[in-house]
Structure 1
Amino acid sequence: MKRMQLLWLFASMTAGTRPLIRAKNAATNYPGIQFGGDRKLSITVFSDLHFGEPESARGRHDADFKTINTMKSVLNNEQPNLVVLNGDLTSCEWVAPENANSLVDQIVAPLVERNIPFATTWGNHDASKTCSTRLMSEHMWDMKGTNGKKLSFTTSSVPGEYGQVGTSNYLIPVYSSSDASKLEMLLWFFDSKGGRVYQPNGGDMTVANWVDDKVVSWFRQSSNEFRQQYGRVVPSLAFVHIPVHAARAFQKDGGRTGATEPGLDEELIGHQGDVCDNNDNCNYNGADTPFMKALIETEGLMAVFSGHDHGVDWCMKWSKSLPYNDPTKGNGLNLCFNRHSGYGGYTDWKRGARQIVIEQDKLGKNELETWIRLEDGDVSGHVMLNATYGVDHYPKVDKLKSFVSYLEPKPAAVFAERPSSVAKPKPKSKSTTASQTKLKSTMTTRPDVQKPKTMLTKSKSSIKPTAHPKSLDVKKSSNR
């Protein structure tokens, strides 16, 4: 691949993004992230914040205020280099069109105050009849920190209508700690869509809930071009709101235990390719098969992080055969769930956020460290995603719930939760491991980059779901 072609590829994927430091090499002279002086990269992942729900929805007092406090607590403890907002930032089915951007302002306020760059994947609740993820992305575009520097990496690199490709499909490059021109890894972001078509004055039209084949083609082509340009495998991570079906197959038949894959496991996993009727009975159509195949066939992809399922927050290694899943066998790819971060949305397990730490010196070993930072400062599910993950044993997590003040009387139908099968243990003391070490990165001003025109580009292509012979189960998923 020629250098000028690579320049165009980078610009189309990341134009307008804000760096921790920018590369100076002619082929990579655009904003990205650089490993810190300690040769580490720290990422905090907030998922399922669900801003904008009225108290009448679930009876919770001051939900958005409590969510902001959770975010602030996590950020103060972790001080990350990058924040990922991994879908369902809002419950936009409750939000009027004129109020969507003000919700975005509230969500990113803790990041703006701390000058923390952020990247967004949109979820099914962000896309509604009254909310457009593309308009909200546009609103994020020029947000600046208190230091006057732009913060948002959120963009769109695949043209097409929302109903086909979604909005948040793009990547962020990560450069060496000691050489700002040396690409070390990539962060991929995908839109799993779902929700509704934006048309405030029109009908209520649903959108398919999987990563589109056109996006999969972009992913494969881009990954191959990086491999050709650099003559080596470039390690990477991926973020997508709705998990792939392999996670549900593993939950059902993969032999998960609370010791080998520690974390909450309090509901049946809802996943891409679920097709549900008006009674919330859902069947799997196999439409995410092309995306799953692309993931496991991408060399160097270490882990995929998802939200959507509020009662699940473990990681799995996809190496064994999974019945009723296509592809049946993975390549050791790690699939991880985030913790439900918001006081909006169903379930009341302690709120928190997933923390990811990648060491530059361990990139070749396909290894990273991750845990859940809880709203009270405690750490849950601290694991090493390495060659022996899934065999190593870890302490089981505490299944404790947040204190939530409800309206009276509490509507029983709304608050029905699966009861915990274990007694509540005493909370553990706060972690004092090296994982709490503050990570620092040099931050420089970036040149303004023209906003990509693909953000609002439309396509006449239609969605064509693929058939699948079997369904694992029938379940309710409308709350996700």
Structure 2
Amino acid sequence: MRKQLHFKGDGTFKIVQFTDTEFCEPCEEEARMSAMMRAILEAERPDLVVYTGDVIASNKSPDPVQAFRDAVAVPEELQIPWAAVFGNHDSEAPDFTREQLHKLQLVHKFCYAKPDPPGVHGSGNYVLELLDGHHLPAATLYFLDTGSYSPLVHHGVGYYDWIRRTQIDWYTRTSHQLTANHGGSPLPSLGFFHIPLPEYSDIWDFTICYGQKLERLICAPPLNTGFFAAMVEMGDIMGTFVGHDHGNDFWGTLHGIRLCYGRTTRNAYLNQPFATGARVIQLTEGQRSFDTWLHLEDGTIIRDQPKHMPEGRAPQISLS
């Protein structure tokens, strides 16, 4: 039977976002993280769990396959639908590819991810529809592979990878078809990927944001390939959710799209206290909006994150 996601009878659909879990091998820290994930899922009772990359630290793991199974064991045991995109650490191990990892997630009983569309760069690009009470599409979730590291280091372009042109073309084609199927009205949609877009730096510098930025830099790719512009043009994606920068959990709005970080599920690389947890997202059928809050390890729920005023000044645009 085809796996399909539905809004609940009360018209809501809840997602729990785990990010940067970096499972490697069994240890006390991973046991504690799994216990936290279980407690959050049992409290929130979501309709879907999304892992936004760095699910495992494959280069540190003696058995990356088992590490991935450990990472998704909690939603599997609780029989909660889940899906994942991958980050830069997921495929760093020799002879362990993102394609293998994507195929591995697809064999799990409660994984709702889909096979990759042909001719699209990366592994883990797919879209999930949320059906209403009449079994008709009422919202969509886009998942994109942001890759790992720049393929152009030898040409002087280093740092992290970026969403490629074939992925943007796939997104716009898919969005256009879904909009046409919906009578010309874009479906309320969300986007999930690992590495933040360059626009995440813009919202922190030039707009009001809510939440924390404990990382010195926002680790976006050095090239802007226009995915954000495509989202604005298509008019369906209301918000995006990323990980990658473990010390950031802020969100801000740019041109009508809320750019959100998750809350790191593993406190890796941070040299200061920062409680781990998850971001929770709730859609309501028929509404072009969503609610979101943080659920921390100690059970604390944070709905109102601290306000951050812009540190820079947006460039002035002359129309003359």
TM-score, reference length from structure 1: 0.58
8 Å contact kept, 1:53–1:344: no
CA gap of 1:343–1:251, structure 2 versus 1, over 3 A, is closer
| Equivalent residues in 2 for 1:225-264, closer than 5 Å | 225-231=177-183, 232-254=185-207, 256=208, 261-264=209-212
Structure 1 residue ranges (4+ consecutive) displaced by more than 4 angstroms after TM superposition:
none
Q: Work out whether residues 129 and 196 of structure 1, in 8 Å CA contact, stay in contact via their aligned partners in 2.
A: no
Cα displacement string for residues 169-224 of structure 1 (whole angstroms, at most 9, x for unaligned residues): 00000000x212x1101100001001499xxxxxxxx9951111111001011111
* In the alignment, structure 1 residue 32 sits paired with structure 2 residue 4: yes
- State which of 16, 34, 39 in structure 2 corresponds to 1:44: 16
CA distance in 2 between partners of 1:209 and 1:251 (Å): 21
- CA shift in 2, pair 1:269/1:78, >3 Å: farther
Q: Which amino acid aligns with 1:224?
A: H
Unaligned runs of 5+ in 2: 152-157, 308-320
CA RMSD for the aligned pairs?
A: 2.3
Distance (whole Å) between structure 2 residues aligned to residue 234 and residue 269 of structure 1: 34
Q: Partners in 2 of 1:375 and 1:64 — Cα distance?
A: 13
Q: CA deviation at 1:133?
A: 2.1
Indicate the SS of the match to 1:193: coil
Counterpart of 2:200, as a letter, is A
Q: How many residues align?
A: 298
Q: Which residue of 1 aligns with 2:276?
A: 351
CA distance in 1, matches of 2:260, 2:234: 17
Report if the CA contact (8 A) 1:63-1:344 is conserved. Answer: no
Residue 153 of structure 1 pairs with residue 77 of structure 2: no
| 1:183 maps onto 2:132 in alignment | no
Percent identity among equivalent residues? 26
One-letter identity of the residue aligned with 1:136: L
Q: Which residue number corresponds to residue 396 of structure 1? A: 306
Equivalent of 1:87, from 42, 47, 53? 53
CA contact (8 A) 1:67 1:343 kept: no
Residue 233 of structure 1 aligns with an amino acid whose one-letter code is P
Shift of 1:250: 2.1
Q: Which residue matches 1:313? A: 249
Q: Does 1:168 align with 2:124?
A: yes
2:35 aligns to what?
69
Residues 315 and 196 (structure 1), Cα distance of their counterparts in 2 relative to 1, 3 Å cut: closer
Q: Distance in 2 between matches of 1:49 and 1:340?
A: 7
State the alpha-carbon separation in 1 of the partners of residues 181 and 59 from structure 2: 44
Query: Relative to structure 1, is the Cα distance of residues 306 and 78 closer, same or farther in structure 2, using a 3 angstrom cutoff?
Result: same
2:154 — aligned with what? none
CA distance in 1, matches of 2:21, 2:150: 19
Sort the Cα spacing of 1:343 and 1:66 in 2 relative to 1 into closer, same or farther, 3 A.
farther
Superposition pairs for residues 139-150 of structure 1, below 5 Å? 139-144=104-109
Q: Determine the C-alpha separation between the residues in 2 that align with 1:272 and 1:156.
A: 26
Aligned to 1:7: none
Q: Distance in 1 between matches of 2:150 and 2:35?
A: 30
Equivalent residue of 2:210, what SS?
coil
Give the Cα separation in 1 of the matches to 2:121 and 2:269.
25
Q: 1:346 to 1:93 in 2, by over 3 A?
A: farther
Using CA pairs below 8 Å that are at least 6 residues apart, which structure has the higher relative contact order?
Answer: 1
Counterpart Cα distance in 2 of 1:351 and 1:152: 24
Shift of the alpha carbon at 1:166? 1.6
Deviation at 1:290, TM superposition (A): 1.9
Q: Is the 8 A contact 2:19 2:55 kept in 1?
A: yes
Structure 1's unaligned 5+ residue stretches are 1-21, 23-29, 55-60, 145-150, 198-205, 274-283, 319-330, 383-393, 398-480
**What secondary structure sits across from 2:191 in the alignment?**
strand
Whole-Å Cα distance in 2 between the matches of residues 189 and 103 of structure 1? 22
Q: Deviations over 1:450-475 (max 9, x none)?
A: xxxxxxxxxxxxxxxxxxxxxxxxxx
Report the Cα distance in structure 1 between the residues aligned to 2:277 and 2:81, rounded to whole angstroms.
19
2:98 alignment partner in structure 1 = 133
| Larger Rg, first or second structure (1 or 2) | 1
Partner SS, residue 123 of structure 1: coil
Deviation string 1:236-290 (CA, Å, 9 cap, x unpaired) is 1110111101111222233x3xxxx3322212343432xxxxxxxxxx3xx2332
- Matches of 1:91 and 1:337, distance apart in 2: 20
2:42 alignment partner, SS class: helix
Q: For residues 124 and 345 of structure 1, what CA distance do their matches in structure 2 show?
A: 15
Alignment-derived partner of residue 314 in structure 2: none
Q: Alpha carbons of 1:253 and 1:262: their partners in 2 closer, same or farther (altered >3 Å)? A: closer
| 1:192 maps onto 2:146 in alignment | yes
CA-to-aligned-CA distance 1:151-177 (integer Å, 9 cap, x gap) = 1122343335xxx8221100000000x
Match of 1:118 in 2: 82
CA 1:289–1:138 in 2, change beyond 3 Å: closer, same or farther?
A: closer
